[in-house]
Structure 1
Amino acid sequence: MSHVRIRKMMEDDQDFILDLSARFNEFEFMEWRDLRKMEESQLKIAKEAIASIGPDSEIFVAEDWEKNLLGYLHMTKNIDYFTGIEQGYISSIAVSKDGEGKGIAKKLMEKAEEWSKKKGYHQLTLNVFANNERAHTFYSKLNFENEIIKMVKEID
């Protein structure tokens, strides 16, 4: 979609971002995860992202020429625990149902790379749930690789 621009979040965008946080729950979680708690947590993460805007944390939104909001990206700095290297970190990226299949996520990912390079970072990281196959496929196509895998076993 060529008629999309990525811009910094404005105050009027906050409700859109908070509403869109629900999209992070649109895949099947492990049985032991409580969907209500996941929804509450995703909303809390979005609120914290908005509150944390500063030199090392920015939110960008994607909009079309009619100013319809189609997605958002929250970028922060991460410091690798093992090396101490500063990295760009994609804290959140979400696309609205209206924006699906229009290249919005790819444009937001390009913005993530641009932001990271501008900050002098040579690595871009993100976390994704194992069961979110659609996201895994998308990130793999953009040359992201698995590095650390969290494994969980339910015990009685």
Structure 2
Amino acid sequence: MNIRKMEEKDHDFILGLSSRFNEFEFMSWRDPEKMDEAQIMMAKEAIQNPNSIIFVAEDEFNQLLGYLHVTTMSDYFTGVEQGYVSSIAVAKEGEGKGVGRKLMEKAEEWAKSKGYQQLVLNVFDKNERALKMYQQLGFEKEIIKMVKEI
């Protein structure tokens, strides 16, 4: 498996994968159509931003298997800069092949190269598959957002 920086030819693949972010159950008040629209918008913004750092994973036959978008954020409480995994998605063809793990290793490598002490991400609580992978990679829950419909 090869992980490389995004090229222009990868744009449609990345936009197409944005729907994978919504393949689990959301809270009842979230509109699935609006969630799809938001994911596509975020992917477009990442692709169009010249400062974006997007990596794609491909197999030995150049079949695209997934992508990773990383950026920098500052911790709200301390102001310390951290590496941030803005998005990571794996194509169905890449499931079970370690693509997600390899992309997360790339995220760690990138964050270390920037001198960051932490790599952070957000994940929906009901995205159990992603949560399990992140926990296996050593990520810990820190802040939990609570929501009550009223």
TM-score per shorter chain, which class?
over 0.9
Q: CA deviation at 1:53?
A: 3.4
Residue equivalent to 1:30: 27
Distance 1:65 1:139 in 2: 26
Question: SS where residue 61 of structure 1 aligns?
Answer: strand
Residue equivalent to 1:80: 75
TM-score, structure 2 normalization: 0.98
Question: SS where residue 116 of structure 1 aligns?
Answer: helix
Distance 2:21 2:50 in 1: 21
Distance 2:50 2:144 in 1: 29
1:45 aligns with 2:42: yes
Whichever residue aligns with residue 116 of structure 2, its letter is Y
Equivalences for 1:72-111 in 2 at 5 Å? 72-111=67-106
4+ runs of 1 displaced by more than 6 Å? none
Q: How many residues align?
A: 150
Residue equivalent to 1:17: 14
TM-score, structure 1 normalization: 0.95
1:145 pairs, out of 140, 143, 149, with 140
Question: SS where residue 32 of structure 1 aligns?
Answer: coil
Whichever residue aligns with residue 91 of structure 1, its letter is S
Identity value in percent: 68
Distance 1:109 1:145 in 2: 15
Over residues 44-100 of structure 1, what are the superposed CA-to-partner deviations in whole Å (9 max), with x where a residue is unaligned?
01011112232xx30000001111000000000010010010000000000000000
Whichever residue aligns with residue 28 of structure 2, its letter is E
1:69 aligns with 2:74: no
Distance 2:143 2:49 in 1: 26
1:118 pairs, out of 95, 113, 116, with 113
